[in-house]
Structure 1
Amino acid sequence: MRVTVDVIGDTTYEIEVDDEATYADLLEPTDYSQHQVSFMVDGRPVPEDQPVEVEEVRVVRLVQGG
């Protein structure tokens, strides 16, 4: 399946995934880790270990600091 991944404020890319891919696997072509982002599908967050079942995903970078 081909998935469009829109990293908010950065870039949009397309990735080919197999049936066992998780949302965390969508970060493979980026420099982000699953601890730095939240995955959104239809405006709702999804767990990074959940299998990808949609063709469009938004990735929101989380703000860190102290």
Structure 2
Amino acid sequence: MVPFISNKNTFSQKDKRMNHTSALNKNIVLIYRKSNKWIEMLLETLVNLKKKIYNFFSFHLSFK
């Protein structure tokens, strides 16, 4: 006997919610990874700037 399916989609309400939350979590993780890369790049540029400024000042102060 074939079970009667009233709706086109066979997922229960709970399954739908679970799928939705897992998709949301995946998106959050992706955004977090991207933002982490941005933060790393920012930190690198800041460190490089600090080194350049330090070198610049130490170079110029050495002539006084």
Into which bin does the TM-score normalised by the smaller protein fall?
under 0.3
Q: What TM-score, normalized by structure 2, do the two folds share? A: 0.19
Q: TM-score normalised to the size of structure 1?
A: 0.19
> Which is higher, the Rg of structure 1 or of structure 2?
2
The structure in which a higher percent of residues are helix is 2
> Larger relative contact order (C-alpha < 8 A, sep ≥ 6)?
1
